[in-house]
Structure 1
Amino acid sequence: MTEPPHLSATRAAYDTVAADYAKLQRTENPETPLDLAMLDAFAGLVRTADAGQVADLGCGPGRITAHLHSLRLPALGIDLSPAMVATARQTYPGLRFEVGSMARLSLADDSLAGIVAWYSIIHTPPALLPELFAEFQRVLASGGHLLLGFQVGNERLHIAHGYGHSVSLDAYRLPPDDVAEFLSRAGLLVQARMVREPAAREKTQQARLLGHKPAGRTRR
């Protein structure tokens, strides 16, 4: 099967910037108290259900995976970029990281207690988000929880430079209502949403959607 162009472009770009991306993240803490509160709420819901493993999809150099681990969740990081996964394994040798596409996960149906996709859906063309969320729904266990983070807007941005390197990939700012509707169509219901104003070097509002797969619902 031929790989969709946006996946090839995303892998190539993040392989290129992996080392410098990780270095910058080690010196900055981009999450605000509100962001951390949403991550903590997600972790509390998953811990209460006591349902098993959580996947950080599009984990990059592993910072959010490590944060989930600090919140007492059995966290697994998955990323499309082998260079990002290598960096994550080196930085957090006690945690598990795997190379893989969140659009086609090598995970069994109904196998995850939770999914975090923290700024990792932004390189998926909006027309393909329903298909992506259907894959999330497939691997998420009945009663499992989901947390998304992304930039608010309704536009495509082409990125030609990043972290001191020339790259070529697209990123999408997304309307929260549209994302919530796509999740609902996939059988994932939004429980809470938070849209906050830009902080630090951010240029647009930031959205967090907390959802779940209703108990008793299996793969669609």
Structure 2
Amino acid sequence: MKPGSWIADASDSYDRVADRYADLVRTGLEALPLEKRLVDHFAQGVVEAGGGPVLDVGCGPGWLTRHLASRGLAVSGIDISTAMLRLARTNNPGLGFAAASLTQIPVADGATAGVFCWYVLHHVPDEDLDTAIRELSRVIVPGGSLMLGGHVGDSTYVKTEGYGGLPMRVLFARRSPETYAHLLRGAGLVVDATIALGPDHPASGAIWLAHKPV
């Protein structure tokens, strides 16, 4: 990673907060029944299409990777934080995890039956966002699926602390649902659904379900 880059900043930041972050999100989707049903819908679709490798991009401590595995998926995870990966491997000894950025995924074209990317892209600056989404699309086999979740809105700032006041330096960019749908289409995917999570929902944002045409 290039020193001083947003990737290095995010890696260093999440290394510092990894333990506290992992504790905060330990319950996974249990408090988010709508999201849980949608994630299970994604998993069921991959299984019914014949299965195959699934990649959890930005897996963090691996709680959602574990959930996907419990739904019958052959899933592995990547993340840029070595501390997050350490926790993921400790908590999920039967699953595979690797250090990588979503702007350069170390997977061959069309090698995955599905990609899961959950609340990650708000850390990617505008100039690299198209590259990141094209990488997500590149690794999906024709007929394969993508599930993307993320913050939406119209604001950008640099987050300088979090998870109990620990120092961080990460971009926090809220973009419109239409922006992501447009980029997904530009990357060759068909957007099957954009699901807005309302302002009174515990995790305000949106979810996109997409697939790569055969």
TM superposition score normalised by structure 2: 0.93
With 147-156 and 21-30 compared, the bigger mean Cα shift is at 21-30
> Where does 1:143-182 land on structure 2 (aligned, <5 Å)?
143-164=143-164, 165-182=166-183
The alpha-carbon distance between structure 1 residues 10 and 31, as it changes in their structure 2 partners (threshold 3 A), is farther
SS at match of 1:141: strand
Compared with structure 1, are the counterparts of its residues 199 and 25 closer, same or farther at alpha carbon in structure 2 (3 Å cutoff)? farther
Deviates more, 1:21-30 or 1:112-121: 21-30
Offset of 1:30 from its aligned partner? 6.7
Say if 2:5 is the partner of 1:5: yes
Per-residue deviation, 1:198: 3.8
Partner Cα distance (1:27, 1:208) in 2: 19
Question: Are the counterparts in 2 of residues 112 and 141 from structure 1 also a CA contact under 8 Å?
Answer: yes
Question: Aligned residue for 2:127?
Answer: 127
Quick check: 1:22 aligned with 2:22?
yes
Q: Partner of 1:218 in structure 2?
A: none
Distance 1:46 1:106, change over 3 A: same
CA apart distance, 1:118 = 0.2
| Residues paired across the two proteins, number | 213
The code of the aligned residue for 2:115 comes to I
* Alignment match, 1:102: 102
Change over 3 Å in CA distance of 1:142–1:201 after alignment to 2: closer
* Aligned position for 2:44: 44
State the distance in 1 between where 2:185 and 2:4 align.
Answer: 24
1:131-152 deviation digits (Å, cap 9, x = unpaired): 1111112111111100110111
**Superposition RMSD on alpha carbons, in Å?**
1.8
Residues 78, 201 of structure 1: CA spacing in aligned structure 2 closer, same or farther, 3 A cutoff? same
Which residue identity is paired with 1:206?
G
Q: Which moved more, 1:56-65 or 1:151-160?
A: 151-160
In the TM superposition, 1:69-108 aligns within 5 A as 69-108=69-108
CA distance in 2, matches of 1:31, 1:156: 27
- 1:115 counterpart residue number: 115
Deviation at 1:36, TM superposition (A): 1.0
Q: Give yes or no for contact 2:80–2:99 (8 Å, CA) kept in 1.
A: yes
Q: Distance in 1 between matches of 2:171 and 2:136?
A: 22
Partner SS state of residue 56, structure 2: strand
| TM-score normalized with structure 1 length | 0.91
Matched, 1:186 2:181: no
Which residue of structure 1 lines up, in the alignment, with residue 206 of structure 2? 207
1:63 corresponds to 2:63: yes
Unpaired runs of 5+ residues, structure 1, are 216-220
Q: Secondary structure at the match of 1:26?
A: coil
| Counterpart AA for 1:214 | P
Letter in structure 2 aligned against 1:196? L
SS at 2:171 equivalent = strand
Deviations 1:143-183 (A, max 9, x none): 11001101110211221111121111111112111100001
| 1:37 CA drift (Å) | 1.6
Q: Does structure 1 conserve the Cα–Cα contact (< 8 Å) formed by 2:30 and 2:36?
A: no
CA offset at residue 207 of structure 1?
0.1
Q: Which region of structure 1 is more displaced relative to structure 2, 166-175 or 65-74?
A: 166-175
- Is the 1:150–1:174 Cα contact (8 Å) retained in structure 2? no
Query: Once the two structures are superposed, what CA deviation does each residue of 1:189-211 show, in whole Å capped at 9, x if it has no partner?
Result: 11012111245765xx3100000
Offset at 1:109?
1.1
User: Counterpart of 1:122 in 2: which secondary structure?
Assistant: helix
Does structure 2 retain, via aligned residues, the 8 Å contact 1:133–1:182?
yes
